Amino acid sequence: MSTRAYSGVYYGTNGGGMKFFVVPVIVICLFSFAFIVIQLNLHSVASHANESEAVKQACGHNPLGTWKNETKFYRICGLPDGSFGIQVLIKNIDGTYREVTSYIRKTSGKPVLNFYDVVRYIEEGCKATFIP
């Protein structure tokens, strides 16, 4: 009769204590992700709320043009300081539009003052085409 070598480790039928390690790691990851999302949202509201409101007002009254890709609409508007804002919209099932975001197009932290640079950003970066 032969005997098997005993390694001294018993894992049981379900992996033993592995679940006591995996569950806390998953919980910690979920809380970390939630914390990061909340912090990013607080930053965007605190730092850019006035810009977003100015773009929303300008694009609502007099957009300079509208572009569309597969899922979104992009409206460009001119702001009083000479910069350009972009408002991003999606179409709801009932045919109405909902704003996703609005922002001032910036490069190197400074507002873009050239309309064609903003158009190039939308057409090349967002893969959108102009709607006449």
| DSSP assignments along 59-122, one per residue | HHH--SEEEE-SS-EEEEEE-TTS-EEEEEEEE-TTS-EEEEEEEE-EETTEE---HHHHHHII
More confident residue, 22 or 81: 81
> Is the CB of residue 75 less than 8 Å from the CB of residue 86?
yes
pLDDT of 48 reads 57
d(CA 101, CA 87) in angstroms, rounded, equals 6
Closest CA to 99 of 115, 120, 81, 77: 77
Does position 96 have pLDDT exceeding 60, yes or no? Answer: yes
Does position 49 have pLDDT exceeding 70, yes or no? Answer: no
What's the sign of the alpha-carbon dihedral 76, 79, 84, 90? negative
> Is the CB of residue 111 less than 8 Å from the CB of residue 81?
yes
Claim: this prediction has a pTM higher than 0.85: no
Place of tokens 């873009």: 112
Q: Kindly state the average pLDDT of the residues 120-130.
A: 90
Token digits of residue 72: 């979104």
User: Residues near 115 by Cβ (< 8 Å), separated by ≥ 6?
Assistant: 64, 76, 78, 84
